[in-house]
């Protein structure tokens, strides 16, 4: 049986799927890297149905799901939001706040499709730059973003479950 993966813009009613795939992909990505208690606390606080519902209702946010057919099970997602990064001037920028895909579906072009959708959407809003934060020791993700055209702009501390970790801040000009 063949499979097909579709990307779609989210709307009201998608918050439970977003929370589930957000927690699952964060756990899968960072288990063995970050502490288990910290991951659980982070997911419980930052991947809630209520948070995704609020983001879906906020016109400054845009969210997508990657779903596999048959069945349309969520396997990844992405959030574009107003930037919350410690850079000198982020006026006119947007942040690729979250982009995750279950590892079973990585290296098949879906990540590239998600980034392409992020670039297209961000350019359509006339954003100057697309920014993101990525764990400084996640070398495969950093290499992926570099191949997509992002460059390092700075760094920050990112709190997960009460512990700080180093993140790279990366960005790309959208030419607007």
CATH of the domain at 25: 3.40.630.30
Boundaries of domain holding 87:
4-173
Task: Report the Cα 107 to chain-centroid distance in Å.
Answer: 16
Read off the pTM: 0.90
The answer to whether the beta carbons of residues 5 and 110 sit under 8 Å apart is yes
Give the model confidence (pLDDT) of 132-164 as tens digits.
999 999 999 999 999 999 999 999 998 887 788
- Of the two residues 165 and 13, the one the predictor is more confident about is 13
Instruction: Count the domains in the chain.
Output: 1
Give the model confidence (pLDDT) of 46-90 as tens digits.
999 999 999 999 999 999 999 998 889 999 999 999 999 999 999
Q: Which residues pair with 169 in a beta bridge?
A: 133, 154
Give the model confidence (pLDDT) of 92-128 as tens digits.
999 999 999 998 998 888 999 999 999 999 999 999 9
Tokens coding 118: 């992020």
- Asked whether residue 1 carries a pLDDT value surpassing 50, the answer given is no
């Amino acid at each position: 049986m063949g499979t097909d993966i579709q990307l779609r813009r989210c709307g009201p009613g998608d918050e439970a799927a977003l929370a589930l795939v957000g927690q699952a992909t964060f756990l899968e990505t960072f288990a063995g890297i970050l502490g288990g208690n910290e991951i659980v606390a982070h997911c419980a606080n930052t991947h809630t149905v209520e948070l995704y519902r609020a983001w879906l209702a906020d016109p400054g946010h845009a969210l997508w799901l990657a779903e596999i057919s048959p069945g349309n099970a969520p396997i990844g997602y992405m959030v574009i939001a107003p930037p919350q990064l410690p850079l000198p001037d982020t006026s006119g920028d947007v942040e690729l706040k979250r982009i995750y895909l279950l590892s079973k579906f990585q290296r098949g072009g879906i990540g590239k499709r998600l980034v392409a959708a992020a670039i297209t959407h961000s350019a359509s809003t006339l954003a100057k730059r697309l920014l993101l934060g990525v764990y400084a020791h996640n070398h495969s993700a950093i290499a992926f973003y570099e191949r997509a055209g992002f460059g390092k702009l700075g760094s920050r501390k990112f709190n997960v479950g009460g512990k700080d970790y180093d993140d790279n801040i990366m960005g790309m000009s959208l030419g607007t």
